[in-house]
Structure 1
Amino acid sequence: MNSCERMTPEQVAQLALAITATAEVLGQSLTADAAEMMADDLADYAVGAVAGALKACRRELNGKLTLAAILQRVQAADGRPGKDEAWAIAMTTNDEFETVVLTDEIQLALAAAKPVLDAGDKVGARMAFISAYERFVGQAREDAKPANWHVSVGFDANRRVEAIAKAVQMQRIPHEHGQKYLADMRVVPVTEDGRALAGLITGEATRPTPAVRERLQGVKASMLEMRAASAERKDEIRIEAANELADRRALLLRQVEELASGRASHG
């Protein structure tokens, strides 16, 4: 939920009762004022996330119920990956053929670590990335911002479908967003496996249309051209591919700048 979409007064009142009941289960007496104050502090988060956190507290806590204990569990359930998984996702962006589904915080942290990575110090880059990532995640959680997953599209059409299908399965992007991403893609999966994966998201698996077959023929012709091309033409093709990669990286940088300026305007 958005940080501006607070719980309604009725939901806050119900939450205060749930907090009081949870404290009693843990053998703690909590005043109505204290429960209401805690509920108000939690009102920027999703109702379901807070309810899940209270349930986890009842199961896991041995001592007193605290706001920090509830917040820790609310934030841990926001879907943001841990630092090691985030680093692995960030490194996948080095492969221009790979489609990557990443969060705003991964993208911002990768931009912060990029100068160290470009210098060839992968260990230092990982340390810089993790430090920045934990800082960005901590700020986002403090602001009660939900995880925002988005897609960085790679050149390989089949990997696009694979990545999006996995993101939908892991509930990182909604099913309808997965359908939209596939509909917006200009190159369809070029294998039966790719089309089958697309069918899992779109709900339909069909034979290629004449237009798609024509596009696939274009891909095959391009491959044949590369195979038969002179050394000079091969260099031209490689330059074109490098330019496409540069365009993709420029887009990622623009997105980072927009995210950074957005954070500054809300800071």
Structure 2
Amino acid sequence: MQQGDKQEFARALQATMELYDKGLSRDAMGMWWHALGGYQLEEVKGGLTRHIQDPDRGRWAPKPADVIAAIQSAYLDQWPSAEQAWAQAIEAADESATVVWQSREAQQAWHQAAQAIYEDGDKVGARVAFKEAYNRLVREAVDAGQSPVSAVSLGHDVQGRRDALTTAVDQGLLSSEAAQRHLPAPEATAEGVAGLLTAGGDGEGGEPAYPAEQLEALRRAASGSRPRSSPASDERGRPDELEAERQRQLSQLQELESQEAAA
């Protein structure tokens, strides 16, 4: 809390203590402020409210430790349980699978404490080690006032990677932009170059935006090189028309590069 929060903090605390017919001296108020000063005002007010609403602890006037416990409980509620995190960790045992962890703590607990044990065949021991490490890491994060942040472990299966990232976006674990960063850049064929050249999406000033990977695809297509996956049958028919199209694309590419250099 900041110095400017003192009055609102005092009002919230005094109102809480009045519910229990308790008063506060100036010295006691100073001790409360010192004990809770490391938290945000809204966290403290939320902790007071949670204490009041607790069917067990709320029957007695709170002490600073009660409010801290209530604040930390609110943070803990944001994390999946150790059992839920372990169920996700098992998925990571398959190296082809992409796992979008609900927290970095789960990812860290798996890689640092449980993975080697699991791969040695001791699934029970891996589960115990994972839960101990996970609970410790979450407690450290809660003590530091942190909220869970998702993390990604990429698997070898590219299609499975797309499916996992799409699901994570749908569940709100990742933004679309974050998911896109974990996907390989799409390959362009010569047939798709014309579409790239006229692709929608405007940059600054209304000019078409061309990502670096698209420009590289244009260079490959215009120079006549093709991805290895392009079938040889693409070369059949109308060689003169294909050459004319390649020259037109090369001309447009040179114009784009000139505009980019001028900018």
C-alpha change, 1:35 and 1:80, in structure 2 (3 Å) is farther
* Shift of residue 166, structure 1, vs aligned partner: 1.0
C-alpha change, 1:51 and 1:134, in structure 2 (3 Å) is same
Q: Deviations over 1:100-159 (max 9, x none)?
A: 133232223221122322221111211111112222222232333343333334442022
1:13·1:39 contact (CA, 8 Å) conserved in 2?
Answer: no
**Distance in 2 between residues matched to 1:34 and 1:159, nearest whole Å:** 53
**Distance in 2 between residues matched to 1:101 and 1:113, nearest whole Å:** 15
Larger C-alpha radius of gyration, 1 or 2? Answer: 2
**Distance in 1 between residues matched to 2:164 and 2:131, nearest whole Å:** 27
**Distance in 2 between residues matched to 1:151 and 1:26, nearest whole Å:** 48
**Distance in 2 between residues matched to 1:148 and 1:39, nearest whole Å:** 30
**Distance in 2 between residues matched to 1:149 and 1:34, nearest whole Å:** 41
* Shift of residue 28, structure 1, vs aligned partner: 3.2
Q: Deviations over 1:185-240 (max 9, x none)?
A: 43599xxxxxxxxxxxxxxxxxxxxx8xx9xxxxxx79xxxxxxxxxxxxxxxxxx
Which stretches in structure 2 are left out of the alignment for 5+ residues? Answer: 187-213, 218-228, 231-263
**Distance in 1 between residues matched to 2:184 and 2:20, nearest whole Å:** 56
2:100·2:152 contact (CA, 8 Å) conserved in 1?
Answer: yes
**Distance in 1 between residues matched to 2:44 and 2:14, nearest whole Å:** 14
C-alpha change, 1:28 and 1:83, in structure 2 (3 Å) is farther
Corresponding residue number in structure 2 for 1:204: none
C-alpha change, 1:77 and 1:152, in structure 2 (3 Å) is farther
Corresponding residue number in structure 2 for 1:144: 145
* Shift of residue 16, structure 1, vs aligned partner: 3.4
Q: Does 1:73 align with 2:70?
A: yes
Corresponding residue number in structure 2 for 1:56: 50
Normalising by structure 2, what TM-score? Answer: 0.58
1:112·1:128 contact (CA, 8 Å) conserved in 2?
Answer: yes
Corresponding residue number in structure 2 for 1:164: 169
Select which of 150, 159, 176 maps to 1:179: 176
Aligned residue for 2:101, secondary structure, equals strand
- Higher relative contact order, chain-length normalized (CA < 8 Å, sep 6+): 1
2:91·2:97 contact (CA, 8 Å) conserved in 1?
Answer: no
Q: Does 1:99 align with 2:99?
A: yes
1:117·1:125 contact (CA, 8 Å) conserved in 2?
Answer: yes
Corresponding residue number in structure 2 for 1:134: 135
Q: What fraction of aligned residue pairs are identical, expressed as a percent? A: 28
Amino acid at match of 2:49: K
Cα RMSD after superposing both structures? 3.3
Structure number having the greater helix percentage: 1
**Distance in 2 between residues matched to 1:160 and 1:16, nearest whole Å:** 47
**Distance in 2 between residues matched to 1:48 and 1:147, nearest whole Å:** 19
**Distance in 1 between residues matched to 2:99 and 2:62, nearest whole Å:** 43
**Distance in 2 between residues matched to 1:48 and 1:124, nearest whole Å:** 41
4+ residue runs of structure 1 moved beyond 6 angstroms? Answer: none
Corresponding residue number in structure 1 for 2:108: 108
Aligned residues: 183
**Distance in 1 between residues matched to 2:177 and 2:30, nearest whole Å:** 42
